């Protein structure tokens, strides 16, 4: 076996997907299974489908292309660029949009390919990432009016995103703005929109608190399926796993060294000025992986008596002084990963994947 590798427990992903899907369906919400953390893993996408997911969402068209033969609808989560309109229509059934020029380009390509591409118009309710600002009602209505004149595209609903940029917590008030805007659109244009896409995994807090506005019937869920976690409340969803992903790394050095570097301190390789606590001599180990391929801030050793001291690009430095195990060169350490570390490992070409 070549190290480092990330071990993915497919059964746990399938289980989490089923638990989350069941919760959502009980509240009239259809979950989109967000796969973007996996760098286009067909195995992970299939596990979500097996757990009840019928729409896959990803931020990369290259990943959706990998999923083209999977039995699920495909959604592009990141706003599409005009330059990729043709590829979008080829490999995505639905996309999140805010710019009419882009939607016009999608329309042209859809007509050429004889397809109808579904549009979710994004509304910014305060997080200040993508979407037309919710107070700009004239712009919203003008955009809807224009979309309805275009061939090859269908306006199926409106949506929003929260917490990813501005860290704004989903609430009955801000997500509820979508319900009001949907009603205004339907009344003005005498149409019926199919969905309100009410955010990402953080929006599950509205279900937790029984504050989900009536009419919100879609959520785009990644972290809640991958880690069984509702980020805003930092609570685990009952009966889910948070350890479906494990990083396995090999020890390449074990030495007794001081806990404090010796000499004048400058910036490290990442332009940070590190600080250290004097703990005397310690037994230190190095694993052959670093910030290029993982994120030490978002991972924990499975040996609770090991502490991550830091890392450079390719070396992970650990304090193994208090471990009950007498580690040797060539031993393998296991780490449980949070979302950011999973993302880094799964997108690194230098970290192998093993599915169990």
Residue 171, by phi and psi: left (phi above 0), alpha (psi -120 to 50) or beta?
beta
Contact between 106 and 88 (Cβ < 8 Å): yes
Answer for the pair 67, 56: CB distance below 8 angstroms, yes or no. yes
CB 249 within 8 Å of CB 333? yes
Question: Residue 158 in contact with residue 121, Cβ under 8 Å?
Answer: yes
CA 131 – CA 160 distance, rounded (Å): 7
Which H or E run includes 183? helix 172-189
**In this structure, what are the phi and psi dihedrals at residue 337, rounded to the nearest 5 degrees?**
-110, 140
Residue 316 CB partners (closer than 8 Å, separation 6+)? 249, 286, 287, 288, 289, 290, 294, 296, 308
Q: DSSP 3-state assignment of 104?
A: helix
Single out the catalytic residue among 36, 66, 182, 246: 36
Side-chain half-sphere of 317: how many Cα atoms within 13 Å?
A: 14
CA distance 108 to 318: 55
Three-state SS sequence of 5-53 = EEEECHHHHHHHHHHHHHHHHHCCCEEEEECHHHCCCHHHHHHHHHCCC
Taking the chain, what is the end-to-end CA distance rounded to the nearest angstrom?
Answer: 14
Cis ω before 4 (30° cut-off from 0): yes
Q: Is 11 a catalytic residue?
A: no
Q: CA Rg, the chain, in Å?
A: 23
CB atoms within 10 A of CB 301: 21
| Contact indicator for 120, 160 with CB cutoff of 8 Å | no
Instruction: Tell me the catalytic residues.
Output: 36
């Amino acid at each position: 076996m070549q190290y480092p590798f990330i071990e993915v427990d497919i059964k746990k992903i399938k289980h989490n997907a089923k638990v989350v899907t069941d919760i959502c369906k009980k509240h009239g919400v259809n979950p989109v299974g967000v796969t973007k953390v996996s760098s286009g893993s067909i195995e992970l996408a299939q596990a979500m489908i097996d757990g009840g997911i019928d729409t896959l969402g990803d931020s990369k068209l290259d990943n959706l292309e990998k999923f083209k033969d999977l039995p699920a609808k495909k959604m592009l989560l990141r706003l599409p660029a005009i330059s990729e309109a043709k590829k979008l229509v080829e490999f995505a059934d639905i996309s999140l949009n805010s710019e009419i020029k882009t939607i016009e380009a999608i329309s042209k390509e859809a007509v050429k390919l004889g397809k109808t591409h579904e549009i979710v118009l994004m509304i910014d309710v305060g997080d200040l990432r993508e979407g037309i600002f919710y107070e700009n009602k004239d712009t919203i209505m003008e955009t809807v009016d224009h979309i309805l004149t275009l061939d090859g595209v269908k306006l199926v609903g409106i949506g929003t995103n929260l917490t990813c940029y501005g860290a704004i917590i989903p609430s009955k008030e801000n997500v509820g703005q979508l319900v009001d805007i949907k009603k205004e659109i339907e009344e003005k244009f005498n149409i019926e929109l199919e969905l309100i896409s009410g955010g990402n995994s953080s929006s599950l807090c509205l279900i937790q608190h029984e504050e989900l506005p009536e009419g919100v019937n879609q959520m785009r869920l990644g972290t809640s399926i991958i880690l069984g976690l509702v980020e805003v409340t930092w609570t685990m969803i009952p009966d889910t796993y948070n350890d479906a992903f494990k990083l396995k790394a090999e020890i390449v050095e074990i030495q007794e060294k001081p806990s404090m570097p010796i000499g004048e301190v400058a910036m490290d390789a990442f332009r940070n000025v590190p600080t250290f606590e004097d703990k005397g001599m310690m037994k230190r180990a190095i694993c052959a992986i670093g910030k290029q391929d993982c994120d030490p801030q978002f991972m924990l050793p499975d040996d609770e008596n090991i502490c991550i001291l830091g890392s450079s690009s390719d070396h992970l430095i650990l304090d193994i002084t208090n471990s009950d195990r007498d580690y040797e060169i060539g031993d393998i350490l296991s780490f449980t990963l949070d979302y950011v570390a999973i993302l880094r490992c799964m997108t690194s070409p230098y970290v192998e994947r093993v599915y169990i």
